[in-house]
Amino acid sequence: MATSESIRAAFHARKEAALLVLVSAAFLNAGSGNDAKYAMEYYRAGAGARAEGLGNANAAASLDVTAVYWNPAALAWMPGPQLHGMHAERFAGAVNVDFLAGGMPFGEKTALAVGLYRMGVDGIPVTRLTDPSRPLGAWITDADGNIRLNVPYAERSVDDQELTLAVTMSVRRSDRMSLGVTLKTIHKSVDRYSAWGMGFDIGLFWRSVRGVQLGVVLKDATATPVVWREGRTEWVRPRLRFGAGLPVLIGPLRFMPVSDFEFGLDGIGNAASFHSGSMDGEWHGGLEVGVRDRVALRVGYNVDRMTAGAGMRFSVFHVDYSFSGQNDLGNCHRLSTTMTWDKDNFFHF
């Protein structure tokens, strides 16, 4: 009968194996001059706990500094100077995701922001067989004359780190419409391998007379090259996202249903909500219920799983938490904080 220790060991072994497969996928897809469908997969995890609580349906709902990630056009509606910090743990804490962003309005129509996004897997074991000349599981005699199984051992450990530095500018073109662009610099490294890339996103935000919010974002607008030091190049194909949201006030309550559709030509198959040939599509949706702009509860659906979250505002701080279930590799937790200052009393430009 298996002991609880052996069950836990087996679970962690499967988790480490799955993570190694995820990390290795980048190299398997990195053929010279080839499209790499998962080259920017790490950057699709989302930013901000509020967004994840809403199923990552945020193309039309991110009217704050997180627009650096979601929709550069929405940054122009940021209420004042903001700082945002997020930490998330995915796959039972094996993968860490961090996001820092700061933004500033300039006048009544323009806003600038900078964001840094990091996903990392630390301490990935690099294994080798005790006797590489013999097959796995064979009985061998070690240097001390003991008979033992030929099993792998951790020879050393490496870290996988993927970074994106984003700089965003957004301009209001009218009282209802704004445009924006984000320039992204990408750096990826694992063990002795490293890569650099650069690309940009463009976005549009529009608010109707009835208050309906619409967002359109073209990610990696002209395809983004990621060049590895060894000479291989991955090309990240553009992805188009449409988002909508409608804030509804009923007494002290504020209801905000949101929905996003994203389309691409990555050919990710069953990993998407729907697909046909190389085209794939994803649906994200959510509902936020707020009370006097102080407390909010959220529920969402992110491609293939439910999400939930909550937020609270006090003084200049807005704290959010979200949860996303993952049956295979453990649950995901996300915590973020946003600080907002009154733009009239901060600096005058």
Range 67-76 average pLDDT: 96
Question: Whole-angstrom Cα distance, residue 158 to residue 171?
Answer: 43
If one compares 136 and 348, the residue with the highest pLDDT of the two is 136
Average pLDDT, the chain: 84
The helix or strand, by DSSP H or E, that contains position 237, with its residue range, turns out to be none
Range 162-176 average pLDDT: 95
Note the pLDDT of residue 53: 95
Whether the per-residue pLDDT at 82 is higher than 60: the answer is: yes
Note the pLDDT of residue 68: 96
Q: Angle at the Cα of 91 (from 120 to 227), degrees rounded to 5? A: 35
The 10 Å Cβ neighbour count of residue 141 is 10
pLDDT band at 4 (very low <50, low <70, confident <90, very high): very low
| Burial of residue 299, with CB atoms counted within 10 A of its CB: 0-12 exposed, 13-18 middle, 19 or more buried | middle
Whether the per-residue pLDDT at 69 is higher than 90: the answer is: yes
Question: Whole-angstrom Cα distance, residue 203 to residue 170?
Answer: 9
pLDDT band at 133 (very low <50, low <70, confident <90, very high): confident
What tokens does 100 get?
Answer: 């820092």
If one compares 176 and 343, the residue with the highest pLDDT of the two is 176
Range 56-73 average pLDDT: 95
Question: Whole-angstrom Cα distance, residue 160 to residue 178?
Answer: 37
Do 168 and 125 form a contact (C-beta atoms < 8 A)? no
What percentage of residues in the chain have a pLDDT greater than 90? Answer: 53
Note the pLDDT of residue 50: 96
Place of tokens 């990621």: 226
Whether the per-residue pLDDT at 41 is higher than 80: the answer is: no
Span of 107-111, 147-151, 239-243 with lowest mean pLDDT = 147-151
Instruction: Write down the pTM of the prediction.
Output: 0.81
Range 137-160 average pLDDT: 84
Range 261-286 average pLDDT: 79
Query: CA-based Rg of the chain, rounded to a whole angstrom?
Result: 23
Whether the per-residue pLDDT at 28 is higher than 50: the answer is: no
Range 198-221 average pLDDT: 95
pLDDT band at 22 (very low <50, low <70, confident <90, very high): very low
If one compares 329 and 64, the residue with the highest pLDDT of the two is 64
CATH fold of 4-340 reads Porin (2.40.160)
pLDDT band at 345 (very low <50, low <70, confident <90, very high): low
Whether the per-residue pLDDT at 157 is higher than 90: the answer is: no
| Domain ranges within the chain, ordered by starting residue | 4-340
What percentage of residues in the chain have a pLDDT greater than 70? Answer: 83
Whether the per-residue pLDDT at 2 is higher than 50: the answer is: no
Note the pLDDT of residue 6: 38
Note the pLDDT of residue 5: 41
Q: Are strands 317-324 and 295-302 parallel, antiparallel or unpaired?
A: unpaired
Do 65 and 78 form a contact (C-beta atoms < 8 A)? yes
